[in-house]
Amino acid sequence: MRALTKLTAGPGLDLVERPEPTCGPTDVKIRVLRAGLCGTDLHLQEWDDWAASTVHPPLVIGHEFYGEVVEVGDDVTSVNVGDRASGEGHIVCGTCRNCRAGRRHLCIRTKGIGVNRDGAFADYVVIPATNVWVQPPELDPDLGAVFDPLGNATHTALQWPMVGEDVVITGAGPIGVMAAAIARHAGARYVVVSDASDYRLDLARDAGADLTINVTRESLADAQRSLGMKEGFDIGLEMSGAAPAVTDLIANMNHGGRIALLGLPHQDYELDWGKVITHMITLRGIYGREMYDTWYAMSQMIATSQVFREAVAQVITHRFPAEEWEKAFATARSGQCGKVLLDWS
């Protein structure tokens, strides 16, 4: 099969021929139809310090995908050949304290598809049946391929009730834009999105943001004045990992404000801990998706709201055949895009 592979411990990737993966008794083999590029994949191509400390080549990368089930293991009863499916990219141990308590997204032994084991930038991928999310047969394959990042957005955005709340999202990458659509769907009063890219801020407006702020020209204080807000934002969703964004976010939260942090910083930064304490601001770190409450929530939002479905679909801005993976990676790295997909069909 074709497989986009990290062959050696250094920069670069190669599209090579590899044997098809073997399906074990509790596994499912999926013919990949679509796969989405993630920031993780860019790190692996670049081979930065994180990649060098985490990944052991050779490795097929990629973890956002949708496809058709072509084989199931002898012990699998929950998935059938012919099903269309997405995959949860985190494989958990099932035996640690959190797993046994039903908090599988907090597993201390999590293994990532396309990071710690062969992934989905290939014609076929094998994952445990417990990680397969069977989709309705009529679902657009492109939408099926973005359930992983949509899950990140859903997990982050729905930490607290949003009805009537003023919500600010720092970072208008694909996950931030999807979070804007979720906040609008969930009943927020105002949804404000900040970023340094006008291209991505346009996507956020199309997804339902009431106001967008280009941080090279304005601040969140300007947004508050524009909207006539008096007390600060109630909920903050931090998607950028940028220190100035976090500083501006904390400075503009209401007393008792709640912040969910998904964006991973490139380096350490200082926080205004005095304000966090005296304003009683809640900071909550977010990683991945809840297994599988998040999957149920996003599936129902997609299934029941055409407006929401269209808002998510417009985040997908570029599509490339698998053979043009280098163009796809260059586009994703440019920032002048939303979600970039590889077509493996």
pLDDT (tens digit per residue) in 220-265: 999 999 999 999 999 999 999 999 999 999 999 999 999 999 999 9
d(CA 51, CA 56) in angstroms, rounded, equals: 9
pLDDT of the residue at 290: 95
Is residue 343 within 8 A of residue 320, CB to CB? The reply is yes
Question: For position 229, what pLDDT does the model report?
Answer: 96
Q: Is the pLDDT of residue 78 over 90?
A: yes
CB 202 within 8 A of CB 176: no
Report residue 57's pLDDT band, with 50, 70 and 90 as the boundaries. Answer: very high
Question: Which tokens is 207 given?
Answer: 């997804």
Question: How far is Cα 260 from Cα 234, in angstroms, rounded to an integer?
Answer: 11
Task: Give the position of tokens 């998706």.
Answer: 289
Q: Which CATH superfamily is domain 2-146+315-343 in?
A: Medium-chain alcohol dehydrogenases, catalytic domain (3.90.180.10)
Q: Left if phi > 0, otherwise alpha if psi is -120 to 50, otherwise beta: which for 167?
A: beta
327's CB contacts (< 8 A; 6+ apart) are 320
Q: Would you please indicate which residues are annotated as catalytic (active-site) residues?
A: 40, 43
Q: What is the CA radius of gyration of the chain?
A: 20
> Are 2-146+315-343 and 155-285 equal in CATH topology?
no
Distance of alpha carbon 10 from its chain centroid, rounded? Answer: 25
What string of H, E and C letters represents the secondary structure of 208-266? CCCEEEECCCCCHHHHHHHHCCCCCEEEEEECCCCHHHHHHHHHCEEEEEEEEECCCCC
pLDDT tens across 91-148, in order?
999 999 999 999 999 999 999 999 999 999 999 999 999 999 999 999 999 999 999 9
* Dist CA 220 CA 234 (whole Å): 13
Please give the mean pLDDT across all residues of the chain: 97
Per-residue pLDDT reduced to its tens digit, 181-231: 999 999 999 999 999 999 999 999 999 999 999 999 999 999 999 999 999
| pTM, entire model | 0.95
User: pLDDT-derived band of residue 294, with 50, 70 and 90 as boundaries?
Assistant: very high
Collapsing DSSP to helix, strand or coil, 48 comes out as: coil
Residue range 20-50, pLDDT digits in tens: 999 999 999 999 999 999 999 999 999 999 9
The two three-digit tokens of residue 279, written as one number: 């304003």
Question: In this structure, which topology does domain 155-285 adopt according to CATH?
Answer: Rossmann fold (3.40.50)
pLDDT over 90 at 266, yes or no: no
Note the pLDDT of residue 65. Answer: 98
Domain ranges of the chain: 2-146+315-343, 155-285
The burial of 149, by beta-carbon neighbours within 10 Å (0-12 exposed, 13-18 middle, 19 or more buried), is given as buried
